[in-house]
Amino acid sequence: MDKFVVKGGARLRGEVTISGSKNAGLPIMAAALLCEGPTVISGVPKLADVSHMTDLLADLGAEVRCDPDGRIAIEVRDESRSHAEYERVRKMRASICVLGPLLAKRKKARVAMPGGCAIGSRPVNLHLRGLRAMGAEISLEGGDIVAVAPMLKGTSIFLGGPYGSTVLGTDNVMCAATLAQGRTIIESAACEPEVVDLANFLNAAGAKISGAGSPRIVIDGVEQLMGTDHPVIPDRIEAGTFMIAAAITNGHISIRNINLDHLMAVVDKLREVGVDVESANGSVEVSSARRLEPTDVTTQPYPGFPTDLQAQLMSLLCLADGNSAISERIFPDRFMHVAELGRMGADIRKEGYTAIVTGVKKLIGAPVMASDLRASAALVLAGLVAEGITTINRVYHIDRGYESFEKKLLALGADIQRVDGGAVPAE
């Protein structure tokens, strides 16, 4: 299990290029199961989760070739296997993305039910509700979701849940609807840019989808989809993480391959607390030169402030000049980083799904434990500015979602090292 050893104090400077989006790339890889012929996806980041998806697609009869330049070619050779086994699904929750494509294309799917994870309970009831509404018969056998549908039929589906829309649920139903008979309307669909990227891929493959990016997506079923070439969008969460890295170190960095339209709520919050964010010559300059102001923020589905940047923003607000309130409205238990930041001298009090952060003058380096992908990134950010040495254990979480994280930080002047600590535990 590798560790990161971070010596705080360096102000980040220089240029960083954002990788392709993990959360767009994974569902698009799964959607390649719907297509005849080869699909080529470019800009896919080299991440542990992408390797997991590659292995899963191979289990399901696809030939997958990953080029060193981030292009992934996928072609289905054998449609006889439709079982996503627990061993794969437990390593990566996004394995659930194969459910809709398998059901639509192979008329049946068996996908292990994902369990909970460090950010809380992660039900898939809305995915199943959507597929059932289209005529699938779904049961649970030995911990697996078993779905059968000789012919999916288009219908109107309301996909809203207690915490709003569902991203991968929208993806699954949208994929299934591409080959269904007739028209499917998804109401309360997720509006995230990653859903739009998937819809763009499917449309390029021959699907008839309109409205992606709005809460109402209309899909007219077609006979078949043909593999196509598709570049994935830049990773908005990685971009937001580097913006906060610049801000927390009072640095000045230039970010390339970033789409600011996908980050409106984040830019708005950063500017409100005193961070400068400017577009210039195709890149975005982020800098801050003084102690930041506190703020209140609530995570929301897109275009609201993303839950995937909540932990990183918390690290930043730990050092603001006053009290901030951070409310988590997507995953109310996503607060594992609070206690770890406390070990570094942060003053955070949790009340239900809100964390009250009282700004302190400094953080102090400490050994801390990464619990999930974004919480781990938040601890690295805190380490960049803490006095002394911070050791972040279990960085395999970061490797699931940030391509070359420490190398990119090193290039910006951070003092960060990866230390080999033995095998990664099975989770």
- List active site positions: 117
Q: Minimum Å distance from CB 394 to ligand EPU?
A: 15
Give me the phi and psi of 144, to 5 degrees please.
Answer: -105, 145
CB closer to ligand EPU out of 237 and 292? 237
Quick one: which segment of 59-67, 116-124, 266-274, 345-353 binds ligand EPU (CB under 6 A)?
116-124
> Using the rule CB under 6 A, is 65 a contact of ligand EPU?
no
> Using the rule CB under 6 A, is 197 a contact of ligand EPU?
no
Task: Report whether 386 contacts 416 (CB < 8 A).
Answer: no
> Using the rule CB under 6 A, is 126 a contact of ligand EPU?
yes
- Bridge partners (DSSP) of residue 419 are 3
Q: Which has the closest alpha carbon to 30: 63, 54, 65? A: 54
Q: Which residue among 6, 12, 94, 275 contacts ligand EPU (CB under 6 A)?
A: 94
Q: Minimum Å distance from CB 10 to ligand EPU?
A: 26
Q: Minimum Å distance from CB 126 to ligand EPU?
A: 3
> Using the rule CB under 6 A, is 221 a contact of ligand EPU?
no
CB closer to ligand EPU out of 8 and 240? 240
Task: Report whether 194 contacts 202 (CB < 8 A).
Answer: no
- Bridge partners (DSSP) of residue 185 are 156, 218
Q: Minimum Å distance from CB 210 to ligand EPU?
A: 21
Quick one: which segment of 4-12, 159-167, 201-209, 279-287 binds ligand EPU (CB under 6 A)?
159-167
- Bridge partners (DSSP) of residue 254 are 15, 285
> Using the rule CB under 6 A, is 147 a contact of ligand EPU?
no
Task: Report whether 30 contacts 54 (CB < 8 A).
Answer: no
> What's the rounded Cα separation, in Å, for the pair 103 and 82?
9
Name which of residues 167 to 196 contact ligand EPU (CB under 6 A): 167-169, 190
> What's the rounded Cα separation, in Å, for the pair 76 and 215?
32
CB closer to ligand EPU out of 83 and 129? 129
Q: Which residue has the tokens 């996928």?
A: 74
CA-CA-CA-CA dihedral for 309, 310, 312, 318, to nearest 10? 160
> Using the rule CB under 6 A, is 70 a contact of ligand EPU?
no
Quick one: which segment of 138-146, 158-166, 260-268, 286-294 binds ligand EPU (CB under 6 A)?
158-166
Neighbours of 351 (CB within 10 A): 9
> What's the rounded Cα separation, in Å, for the pair 88 and 223?
30
Q: Which has the closest alpha carbon to 94: 57, 65, 62? A: 57
> Using the rule CB under 6 A, is 133 a contact of ligand EPU?
no
> What's the rounded Cα separation, in Å, for the pair 134 and 85?
24
CB closer to ligand EPU out of 334 and 408? 334
Q: Which residue among 9, 38, 161, 388 contacts ligand EPU (CB under 6 A)?
A: 161
> Using the rule CB under 6 A, is 127 a contact of ligand EPU?
yes
Name which of residues 395 to 414 contact ligand EPU (CB under 6 A): 401
> What's the rounded Cα separation, in Å, for the pair 365 and 293?
23
Q: Minimum Å distance from CB 7 to ligand EPU?
A: 26
Q: Minimum Å distance from CB 168 to ligand EPU?
A: 3
Quick one: which segment of 37-45, 83-91, 161-169, 211-219 binds ligand EPU (CB under 6 A)?
161-169
Taking 3-state DSSP, the helix, strand and coil percentages for the chain, each rounded to the nearest 5, stand at 35, 30, 35
> What's the rounded Cα separation, in Å, for the pair 153 and 136?
9
Name which of residues 280 to 339 contact ligand EPU (CB under 6 A): 307-308, 330-331
- 244 burial (CB, 10 Å; 0-12 / 13-18 / 19+) is buried
CB closer to ligand EPU out of 23 and 82? 23
Give me the phi and psi of 182, to 5 degrees please.
Answer: 85, -160
Binding site for ligand EPU (CB under 6 A): 23, 26, 94, 122-127, 161-163, 166-169, 190, 307-308, 330-331, 373-374, 401
